[in-house]
Amino acid sequence: MSDLKLEGKVALVTGAGRGLGRAYALHLAKLGADVVVNDISLKAHEEYDEELTSESVPAEIEAMGRRALGMESDVTDRDQVEAMVEQIDKEFGQLDILVNNAGGALFGRLEFKPMFDLNFHGTVHCCEAVSEIMKRQRSGKIVNVGSQAGLQGGTGFSYSTAKAAVIHYTRCLAKELGPHNVNVNCIAPGWILSSRAVAAGRNEGETKKNLEDRIALGRLGMPEDCAKVIEFLVTDLSDYVTGQTITVCGGAVLF
């Protein structure tokens, strides 16, 4: 039971119906947290044939003995986000952890508006809504999800710019919420084998080899590699860490 570092805590993970978000939600539940699983569809795993151990991610969490709440909300819609957070407050009376995972390079390299709506504005909407509860509590941990693309130029123009905005917003919000005892940090994953990436061929043939040749540790990342860094950022191990971006890339020095 000593591993239940988050027992008594409530976490919200966006985009958690599959992939990386699912990995984060399950990992937080394993650490003892009750978890609100948000996605635009709680059947999102079906799109990439991701195998679940139950019919949905909330059901997987409940099978672990934790309380779970599934909420289908579009983070690009401020009203939907505010309604979601209000319901969480009513159901749990607290909200200790926010992981802003919803996002992705789902649009063309020059389609700035939809890319920013999903990756940047969705993050801002959730942070603004959740921060009111955390300020009231005088405690909280927010983890935004950027990307290695947001730290480098020339990799998916609109996506890179949107993720760079997330990284800088993290620094700004950390300064604003620090006096309220709320930590705000960011992770910047590299080439991770999410279900979407696997479906797109990232783990096959020449694509896999070319990427591995550019990674110091010589392998592509797994969702759990990112989840372990999330663990650091939402537990007391990082109480004196805020405004930071931690790269989770295996040393992708040529990214």
* Residue 24 known to be catalytic: no
Q: Residues 6 or more apart from 2 whose CB is under 8 A from it?
A: none
Show the 3-state SS of 77-88: CHHHHHHHHHHH
Instruction: Report CA 245 to chain centroid distance, whole Å.
Output: 13
CB half-sphere exposure, 172, CA atoms < 13 A: 9
> Largest Cα–Cα distance of the chain, in whole Å?
52
- Which member of 24, 159, 169, 240 is catalytic? 159
For tokens 């591993």, what's the residue?
A: 3
Starting from the edge strand earliest in sequence, which strands make up the sheet with 34-39, in order?
68-72, 34-39, 10-13, 97-100, 140-145, 182-189, 245-248
Q: What is the spatial distance between Cα 77 and Cα 127, in angstroms, rounded to a whole number?
A: 13
Nearest to 10 by CA among 2, 31, 19: 31
Nearest to 40 by CA among 82, 88, 74, 83: 74
**Could you tell me the CA-to-CA distances from 56 to 12, 15, 16, 198 in Å, in that order?**
16, 13, 10, 20
Which positions are catalytic? 159
